[in-house]
Amino acid sequence: MTKNARISALAAAVVAGVAAFWGGWLRRWMSDDGLIVLRTVRNLLAGNGPVFNAGERVEANTSTLWQYLITAFAWITDARLESIAMWLALLCTVAAAATATYASGRFWGRVGPVIPLGIIIYIALPPARDFATSGLEWGLSLLWIAIWWALLVAWAEEPLRRRAPLAGYLLAFWCGMSWLVRPELALYGGVTGILLIAFTPRKTPGILAAALPVPAAYQIFRMGYYGLLTPHTAVAKSASGSEWRSGFEYFADFFGYYWLALPIIGAATVAVWQLWGARGRRLAIVLLTTGVALTHILYVLRVGGDFMHGRMWLLPLFALLLPVMAAPYNRIVAAVGMAIVVWATVIVLRAHPVDWEPYNTGEKELGIVDERDFWTMAVKRPAGDPPMFAEDFTTSKLMRNWEDALERGMDEDSAQMSLAYVSEDPELYEWFIRDREAIDSDLRNQPLTIYMVNLGMTSMNAPLNVRVLDTVGLATPIAARMPRDPDGRVGHDKALDQIWQAADADTDLDKLPEFVDKQQARQARAALRTEEIAELLATSREPMSWGRFWANVRYSLGPGRTLMLDDDPSTYLDDATLREISAGEDPGLTGRQIAWEREK
């Protein structure tokens, strides 16, 4: 790499980093899903372990490393968790943009000076700037991809640099970490491992020794601690299912809206032209990045995309652009670059305006939404002034009388807090208290329990001695195993009926409102004691021991992979039990233990 090429690569990296920082900073915010991560961090800091609710071992976050990274910085600073998450995400995004751009400049170093190209395409997109913060792990994921690319470039140069024999081993180690950043990044790490072994088969033992120990150790921990092979979010979202129609709708919502075909074709033309005649490792790493990015896109299409506009496309798009994040300077590339700048300017100015009136009036159901603008609207803040902290979400219509109800529920040691309409007006909600049963039961070990689909804003505005669960299954094992609604919103297409919610606490079922079937609630409570469901609950609730750990490992390889529940509780009960319930009895208050006393 010549001196001029190195200087131009550094300059391009600086431009990329500044643009990423400025774009992310102007659109900084906190999402409800980002608050979900912070609830786990609070439990880690309190000594309750990597759990969402104390006493229930549920891995509610997709990214393992992200929650621990925030926790590490929280241990050494007094800053608010929201601020730590925002700054870490933003700095990771900036580092990713700069690293990927410099690595591309280094890749083209033998050709000559470079200019920023692909990074302009990425940063111009509003979702890219939105998810530079948000509290989620997108910045960390981008940084993993960027370092992966930089290590690939170093590995491609290894035969020419006798002083760098460790490039392949460092790359192998980094590939092993992919699974802990986000599960789908294992595609990138796994295929790269195959490439390394194919090129240097004699180094296979060393490559495996570098790549496997850390992820394998955590995987054993995950299986024994949580009873699952994957994060719980993968179970809740049925990530192994196929929803191609929804996936292509999600594709059109992003690639079509921003005319992304135009800049991608321009960037691809530059890459093919500059690489024509290339071979060996240089060609291999370009084919690798392109192949895994396209496979990642197919995966997103297959699982149906997401309900957040653009979010699931950001990582494969970033990976697809890696070889041309910076491109060799010449007149043709400069012309393509100017065209991309014009496109980017239009996209930045056009933004992603959303007419929220149909949603506010109930004329249109929520589907794919601009999550930042949605929450700005939902918590009644001015446009361009999104929520930044947990308390900013308490102005949502769903949090009306939240603080008063929570205080009352805790003071009275209530069983549940439940949200319901106050009247026919869809804007008026209120939280209600549900009393406990007078009869002693192990269900009395359950603390005040709150169910809400928006898990972040409730959990971060509640103390850790309150159990906060969702109805779609991110933190709720029973809900995660419920059948999918084929017409439901992608990612939120499961629903835990109120009969199950009331059953999994010592709620006084006789005092349930009329719209909740009391007999079915008793059936659900009895169904929780049946062997199949009781064992599911035990994997997360029974106090940890070596026996429970190894039982969870076995469970993760069996029912943990395949178990789906029936939303009709009567299917789990024999005739004798159904007759008892018909006679007004509540046999589900006793039987197999499903709730254990929690440490104070």
Top-confidence residue, 459 or 352: 459
Give pLDDT, residue 161: 60
**pTM for the structure as a whole:** 0.94
Give pLDDT, residue 17: 97
Indicate if the pLDDT at residue 600 is higher than 60. Answer: no
Give pLDDT, residue 14: 97
Spell out the residues 6+ positions from residue 115 whose beta carbon is closer than 8 angstroms to its own: 8, 12, 326, 327, 329, 333, 334, 337
Structural tokens at position 485: 């609604």
Could you tell me whether strands 467-469 and 449-451 are parallel, antiparallel, or unpaired per DSSP bridges?
Answer: parallel
- Which is it for the CA torsion 341, 343, 346, 351, positive or negative? negative
461-490 CB burial, b ≥16 within 10 A, e <16: bbebebbbbbbbbbbbbbbbbbeeeeeebb
Beta-carbon neighbour count of residue 206 at 10 Å? 15
Give pLDDT, residue 265: 96
**How many Å apart are CA 1 and CA 13, to the nearest integer?**
16
Q: For a pLDDT cut of 90, what percent of the chain falls above it?
A: 80
Mapping DSSP onto H, E and C, the string for 219-257 reads HHHHHHHHCCCCCHHHHHCCCCCCCHHHHHHHHHHHHHC
Evaluate whether 61 touches 233 at the Cβ level (below 8 Å): yes
Indicate if the pLDDT at residue 310 is higher than 70. Answer: yes
For the chain, the farthest-separated pair of C-alpha atoms sits apart, in whole angstroms, at 87
State pLDDT tens for residues 341-354: 999 999 999 888 77
Give pLDDT, residue 485: 82
Give pLDDT, residue 162: 55
DSSP characters over 434-470: EPBPSS--GGGGS-SEEE-S-HHHHHTTS-TTSEEE-
Evaluate whether 307 touches 98 at the Cβ level (below 8 Å): no
E strands in 77-121: 114-116
Could you tell me whether strands 114-116 and 467-469 are parallel, antiparallel, or unpaired per DSSP bridges?
Answer: unpaired
Give pLDDT, residue 357: 65
Spell out the residues 6+ positions from residue 533 whose beta carbon is closer than 8 angstroms to its own: 478, 527, 565, 572
Give pLDDT, residue 431: 94
Choice among 62-66, 183-187, 349-353, 477-481 with the minimum mean pLDDT = 349-353
Evaluate whether 101 touches 12 at the Cβ level (below 8 Å): yes
Evaluate whether 389 touches 81 at the Cβ level (below 8 Å): no
State pLDDT tens for residues 156-215: 987 656 555 688 899 999 999 999 999 999 999 999 999 999 998 999 999 999 999 999
State pLDDT tens for residues 542-590: 999 999 999 999 999 999 999 999 999 999 999 999 999 999 899 999 9
In this structure, what DSSP letter does residue 112 have?
A: -
Indicate if the pLDDT at residue 269 is higher than 80. Answer: yes
Evaluate whether 523 touches 514 at the Cβ level (below 8 Å): no
**How many Å apart are CA 425 and CA 362, to the nearest integer?**
11
Give pLDDT, residue 536: 97
Give pLDDT, residue 38: 97
Cα–chain center distance at 464: 22
Top-confidence residue, 289 or 303: 289
- In this prediction, residue 277 has a pLDDT band, given cuts at 50, 70 and 90, of confident
Give pLDDT, residue 165: 63
Choice among 97-111, 118-132, 231-245 with the minimum mean pLDDT = 231-245
Give pLDDT, residue 420: 86
State pLDDT tens for residues 17-39: 999 999 999 999 999 999 999 99
**Rounded average pLDDT over 479-496:** 84
**Rounded average pLDDT over 279-304:** 94
Could you tell me whether strands 326-328 and 114-116 are parallel, antiparallel, or unpaired per DSSP bridges?
Answer: antiparallel
181-193 CB burial, b ≥16 within 10 A, e <16: bbbbbbbbbbbbb
Look at residues 393, 325, 257 and name the one whose alpha carbon lies nearest to residue 116: 325
**How many Å apart are CA 9 and CA 109, to the nearest integer?**
8
Choice among 68-72, 312-316, 487-491 with the minimum mean pLDDT = 487-491
State pLDDT tens for residues 391-446: 999 999 999 899 999 999 999 999 999 998 876 666 788 999 999 998 889 999 99
Give the containing element (helix H, strand E) for 326.
Answer: strand 326-328
> In the beta sheet, which residues pair with residue 328?
114
Give pLDDT, residue 484: 87
Give pLDDT, residue 355: 65
Give pLDDT, residue 177: 96
Q: Mean pLDDT, the chain, as a whole number?
A: 92
Q: Residue 72: is it exposed, middle or buried by C-beta count within 10 angstroms (0-12/13-18/19+)?
A: middle
State pLDDT tens for residues 47-60: 999 999 999 999 99
Evaluate whether 540 touches 494 at the Cβ level (below 8 Å): no
Give pLDDT, residue 409: 96
**How many Å apart are CA 118 and CA 131, to the nearest integer?**
18
- In this prediction, residue 474 has a pLDDT band, given cuts at 50, 70 and 90, of very high
Indicate if the pLDDT at residue 362 is higher than 70. Answer: no
Q: For a pLDDT cut of 70, what percent of the chain falls above it?
A: 95
